[in-house]
Amino acid sequence: MNRGYFCSMLKHTLLKAAEAGAAELQRFFNGSFSISNKEGINNLVTEADHAAEKAIMGVIQADYPDHYILSEESGEHIQDSSYKWIIDPIDGTVNFANGIPICCVSIGVERAGKMLMGAVYNPIMNELFFAQKGFGATLNNKRIHVSDKTEVIKSCLVTGFPYTYLDEPNGPIQVFEKLIRKGVPVRRLGSAAIDLCWVAAGRFDGFYEHKLQAWDSAAGFLMVEEAGGKVTDFNGDYYSPYQPHLLATNGKIHDELLRIINGGLF
Ligand code: IPD
Ligand code: CA
Ligand code: CA
């Protein structure tokens, strides 16, 4: 099969899966659903997370039964395939459980260990982000681009905090405090996938987080790269979603923010 044709089939399945998951978010949002706890005090999982995951996986497995899947709630579905789907059925579960409309379905598709496509869908705000390696990033089918700010002091940033306190030098609180003391606005939306998409769309100039999982960032980091931004770990090296640290920026403030995150003076 021709590669272009295969990619358009893959994209079709990806968007269909994102829509199926998003329909579950809409069905439960602001309604009643059961909630239980994972490890950590406020690390929640709701009935809607499970329903969305089931709907998403149903679509993928119907079209590609031999592809590998990694999904937050059900874990690894190992297959001997070069394609791997990385799913967060609801990113922003605490928001979702509180009726805060900043939550989404996030799905990334890897081919031979490289992110090929991603979709992040927030049905409550009617925002569908999509990116394909080498083909740019879109929001509701319109091309998006990162911002052009050149200094951290004039930037609007976003970050997130892990469910369990990270007590380490240059940890999340220390970096946050340093930026806030200088008057830099640093938001905390509660959904890493949306944080990344909003950097891609130029709403934020940068996003950093100290402890992410592959499903939080798989689709979103490709969105930033394809919108012209830069994504690295905290050493400034190639970003892999299988390690915890992520810095995503418009590219222009990247080195300065990297230095600040690593304890440099600001
Ligand atoms: C969380 C969100 C949050 C981030 C956490 C993630 P969840 O994912 O992305 O913004 O700060 O690190 O675990 O639990 O809502 O899927
Ligand atoms: Ca998540
Ligand atoms: Ca989740």
* Residue 244 DSSP symbol: S
Q: How far apart are CA 121 and CA 199, in angstroms?
A: 15
Residue nearest to atom 11 of ligand 1 (CA): 160
Task: Output the CA–CA distances (angstroms, integers) from residue 38 to 55, 67, 72, 73, 172, in the order listed.
Answer: 21, 27, 12, 10, 22
Nearest to 200 by CA among 224, 165, 233: 224
Record the pTM. 0.97
3-143 and 152-261 agree in CATH topology: no
User: Which ligand 1 atom is the nearest neighbour of the CA of 92?
Assistant: 15
CATH number at 3-143:
3.30.540.10
Query: What integer pLDDT is reported at residue 75 of this predicted model?
Result: 97
Hey, where are the domains in the chain?
3-143, 152-261
Q: Which amino acid is at 233?
A: D
Kindly list the strands in the beta sheet with 230-232, ordered across the sheet, starting from the edge strand earlier in the chain: 186-187, 157-159, 206-209, 246-249, 230-232
- Given a contact cutoff of 8 angstroms between Cβ atoms, the answer to whether 148 and 161 are in contact is no
Class of domain 152-261: alpha beta
Q: How far is the CA of 193 from the centre of ligand 1 (A)?
A: 8
**Over the stretch 168-201, which tens digit does the pLDDT of each residue have?**
889 999 999 999 999 999 999 999 999 999 999 9
Query: What integer pLDDT is reported at residue 112 of this predicted model?
Result: 97
Query: What integer pLDDT is reported at residue 2 of this predicted model?
Result: 82
Residue with tokens 């390690």: 243
Query: What integer pLDDT is reported at residue 22 of this predicted model?
Result: 98
Query: What integer pLDDT is reported at residue 141 of this predicted model?
Result: 98
Greatest Cα pair distance, the chain, in angstroms, is: 56
Proximal ligand: closest to the CA of 96:
1
Neighbouring residues of the ion ligand 3, judged by CB less than 5 Å = 72, 88, 90
All residue ranges of the chain with pLDDT < 50 are: none
